[in-house]
Amino acid sequence: KVRGMSCEICAATVEKAAKQIDGVIAVSVSHKQGTADVTYDSGKVTPAGIEKTLNAKTPFKATAPAEQK
């Protein structure tokens, strides 16, 4: 989940930040659903690491699913 997005520019901001994370392979962000679906290399990055980076690099609140932390 990503809270605080209200438009496509918000989604693009999250997508750009996610794509810059080493180990992220693909990302799809929906401001309407408040989600970011991320495909990643688990040998390089964890969901918690993605969450931490998105929270540091965007003004939005990202939360990785509890079962993936």
State the average pLDDT over residues 16-37: 98
Distances (CA, A) of 55 to 20, 49, 65: 14, 10, 15
12 token code pair: 């693009």
Whole-number pLDDT of residue 66: 79
- Averaged pLDDT score across all residues of the chain: 95
Total residue length of the chain: 69
Q: Print burial letters for 3-16: b (CB count within 10 Å at least 16), e (below 16).
A: eebeeeebbebbbe
Whole-number pLDDT of residue 69: 59
User: Does the reported pTM lie above 0.85?
Assistant: yes
CB 25 within 8 A of CB 13: no
